[in-house]
Structure 1
Amino acid sequence: MTHHEFREAVTQLGYEKGAQPLQVPELTSVESLGDLYKYSDATKSKFNELKVIQPYQHHEMFSEPISMTTTNTEQISKQVLSKLQGPSKDNRVCLVGAKGIGKSTLLMQAMALANSSDATQAPVFLHIPNANAIVDGSSDYILNQKTGKYQQPMFTKRWIWKLKNANADVFKQLKLSRDFTYEKDRKEVTLVKGENTVYDLLNDCHDFGKYGPTNAFQFFVEELQHQSQNVPVLVTIDRANGLFDFPITEYRHADFSSVHVSQLEIGDWLLKVVSGEFNFTKGGVILAQSSDFSAHRKSMKVGLGLEVHSPYEKAWLFDIDIANAMLANGGVKPIEVAPFTKDETSKLLEFYQQAGVLQATQGETEFTKIANNQYTLSGGNPWFLVQAAAFAY
């Protein structure tokens, strides 16, 4: 028994612990397409720290998350991962597509490949699992009079903690390029350049969650920008339209007027990263849209060049500053996530059957018929495919 409704129960109650162990290889390259892979322990550890795996993706069907490599995987590898040794302003993409098509899964695959043993150099991961959390009013906030930006202490503190744990192996190798002084227990503490590391900064300095003006976050991102001469930085933002299509935030000024996303410290920095104004010498930016909201909003669609700007568009549906930021410095390139082919659909259903997720069918002919039916019903969309297969079996 549980107090959860079914949709929440399957993600909360650990059903995957009773699933059969998977006999599939780890994802390290895209040499073979149309195959099922699991993620390495090192990658899963980073995923858990950064909350990369989104709920309701049906990963509870297996003992551990799996995914299939497709032409989408090959495309993002060529367009983004192969360019991580170049500037991030020239390496910005956004994953778009229908609901359930696999945008978040493709983002996971990109991060796994970047972190694999086959990668040229593992990057620093700056991942935001739900961009809407920046603007939805769920965090405390305080105005920094020096910068004119609102800081969000609790959101920043929690995010920095995740980044520290996920990137500990890299951060411990990066010596600070400047001294940094902060207050701890009413005493001044100085982290010394060339001696202390970025990990020391994130682990020892509590200014990120301080309810008062601080320059800790600005120092951190500027330090990463400097370090990106040697180590690439990969910025990944899932559910990105939850931020960029909702630039008028739930926060308020003292006069109760709305706070724009560019007036938030983290929001303003992300806009600069997406526009290419804030550039990492080595790195890239991957955005992923969500189909859960903002279907009628235009900022990202115009910014990606998918729609033409109408001067008569309602202000709450379109923000020209957001669109211009995405179009700046060559623009963010959209990547349309393609559905599975018939062969990929059949291969996935066959794997489901072998893993014990689906009941055994009466012979190969019957299975082929069901696979063809499921492809017709789902159109190769993974989300609809799972639903169609569940009804069929």
Structure 2
Amino acid sequence: MADLPQTANGWTKSSQSGRGGVAAGGEEDGEQAATKRKRLTAFLPMPAGQLTHPLFESERRDQLQLQNFHPEMITPAVASQALKYPHSEKDPFRIFGLPRNLLVEFRILSKPCSVMRGVTIDVINRLDAASQASSTDHRLVFSGATGCGKSTLLLQALQYCNASDWIVFYFPRGINLVNSTTQYSYDSRTRTYLQPVFAYQTLQRFLTVNESRLEQLKTQADVELERRDTIPAGTTLAELVRTGVREQGQAPTILAAVMDELRKQTAFPVLLAIDDFQALYCKTTYRDPQFAAIQPYHLSMPRLLLEYASGQRKFARGAVLGALSTTNVSFKLPLELAEALDLPPTSHAGPYAKRSPILQDYAQGLERVNVPDALSVPEAMEVFDVWTKDRALPSVPNDELFLAKYSESNGNAREFVWKGLLSSLSL
């Protein structure tokens, strides 16, 4: 990092791993290599110890001071306040990943944080009730305008559950389950298309985040594998997951078995959180041998998640949360899900519109949670204060600037930050 070019705000340009550089012994000329590096670069923060220039002295002293996100703090008293997420190598969002917009924001901020809103407190109260009840009664879907903060709310719920000793699953980019980006193969035994790579990656991340809890749980029944091998009852769930991590081909079977064991145990509540939730109900870009589009319920991963989202399978203690996304027009809100959530349809919805009875069953019983389209003035002021203290504003902060940006964005959280506060930054 020491010899990388340094920008004015203390960030460096670094080529992505394995891309954009010239291989040893290669014959690309300097101009072509420079063009590729410019196109395939990312801004990465430099360690504070390397910021030795006097320009950065004040930045090292004035760190963003926020209280830590802790379950006991999430009460109405912290509404409209920003809390930072404690740094831990096993934090769910560091292991499972983040939606793209949140990932970029957290890279720019010196500390990952978010503002607690009124809807955050409401969802936390629902989760407290769900910790002692079946997930059938707590299947919530966050809806609202584009950029209103649905993904942030889902992340806050995830962080709360993880810190409250829940077992957590998190799928930050649900579209990747159905957009044909991973390998798949037909399984005649289950009559579904298995996704072994995605299941393998899910097990890896799930074990990293929940290992201490899984060590305390044991299987209640034998688990039969495809090669007539059997994992005996009484095996810890952590060891069961490790079996799927060691053998990628067995990962879909192991993942289904782990989920089945989790729904029967009562020692820990379980959270299943899915962003881009509507993608699970959309026609996939996977193709069968006749090149017809494969339905989501014919893919092993989406089918498994749909069964828990619909209540066909349930956790003895826990909840299922989903967040709708409108950024990808290829996976718009389908009619079956829109009608189940009582939302305006994105396509023709007359009596002669074609509906899938199977998808209607999978959408039955879901409860909509409306995320306010606009930040309240106190919430927006806290967002403004966070970015101001983190030196993201190129101009002098004042009340006129705040009111101008708030009005221009109509209070929309994403627009307020990206097209308001950060609009003049070159990133």
Which category describes the TM-score, using the shorter chain as reference length? 0.7 to 0.9
Alpha-carbon distance, 1:253 to partner: 2.8
Q: 2:87 aligns with which of 41, 66, 78?
A: 41
Amino acid at match of 2:145: A
Alpha-carbon distance, 1:94 to partner: 0.7
Secondary structure of 1:47 counterpart? helix
Q: 2:68 aligns with which of 9, 19, 26?
A: 26
Task: Please give the TM-score of this superposition, normalised by the length of structure 2.
Answer: 0.78
Amino acid at match of 1:86: A
Q: Is the contact made by 2:340 and 2:363 (CA closer than 8 Å) also made in structure 1?
A: yes
Q: 1:343 aligns with which of 371, 374, 378?
A: 378
Q: Distance in 1 between matches of 2:65 and 2:152?
A: 20
Q: Any idea what the Cα deviations from partners look like across 1:89-129, whole Å, max 9, x if unmatched?
A: 1001111111211111111111111122xx3xx21111112
How well do the aligned residues superpose, as a CA RMSD in angstroms?
Answer: 2.8
Unaligned runs of 5+ in 2: 1-12, 16-35, 49-58
Alpha-carbon distance, 1:235 to partner: 0.5
Q: Is the contact made by 2:110 and 2:390 (CA closer than 8 Å) also made in structure 1?
A: no
> 1:209 maps to which residue?
248
> 2:421 maps to which residue?
389
Secondary structure of 2:321 counterpart? strand
Amino acid at match of 1:24: L
Runs ≥4 in structure 1, deviation > 4 angstroms? Answer: 1-6, 16-20
Q: 1:230 aligns with which of 248, 267, 271?
A: 267
Residues 1:268 and 2:303 are matched in the alignment = yes
> 1:334 maps to which residue?
368
Q: Distance in 2 between matches of 1:16 and 1:95?
A: 36
Instruction: Write the mapping of 1:171-186 to structure 2, written as runs, cut at 5 A.
Output: 171-180=214-223, 182=225
> 2:105 maps to which residue?
58
Q: 2:149 aligns with which of 102, 108, 126?
A: 102
Q: Percent identity?
A: 22
Q: Any idea what the Cα deviations from partners look like across 1:302-348, whole Å, max 9, x if unmatched?
A: 121224753322x4xx5443233212xxx111111112111221232
Residues 1:243 and 2:280 are matched in the alignment = yes
Q: 1:80 aligns with which of 105, 127, 130?
A: 127
Structure 1 residues 208 and 305, CA gap change in structure 2 (3 angstroms): farther
Instruction: Write the mapping of 1:88-127 to structure 2, written as runs, cut at 5 A.
Output: 88-116=135-163, 119=164, 122-127=165-170
Structure 1 residues 268 and 357, CA gap change in structure 2 (3 angstroms): same
Q: Is the contact made by 2:143 and 2:324 (CA closer than 8 Å) also made in structure 1?
A: yes
Alpha-carbon distance, 1:275 to partner: 0.8
Instruction: Write the mapping of 1:271-286 to structure 2, written as runs, cut at 5 A.
Output: 271-286=306-321
Structure 1 residues 103 and 258, CA gap change in structure 2 (3 angstroms): same
> 1:310 maps to which residue?
350
Secondary structure of 2:83 counterpart? strand
Structure 1 residues 211 and 141, CA gap change in structure 2 (3 angstroms): farther
Residues 1:368 and 2:399 are matched in the alignment = yes
Structure 1 residues 86 and 311, CA gap change in structure 2 (3 angstroms): same
Computing the radius of gyration from Cα coordinates, the structure with the larger value is: 2
Q: Is the contact made by 1:84 and 1:91 (CA closer than 8 Å) also made in structure 2?
A: no
Higher relative contact order (CA 8 A, sep 6+): 1
Alpha-carbon distance, 1:243 to partner: 2.3
Q: Any idea what the Cα deviations from partners look like across 1:55-106, whole Å, max 9, x if unmatched?
A: 4542222222110001121121123343222100100111111121111111
Q: Is the contact made by 1:22 and 1:62 (CA closer than 8 Å) also made in structure 2?
A: no
Unaligned runs of 5+ in 1: none
Structure 1 residues 126 and 259, CA gap change in structure 2 (3 angstroms): same
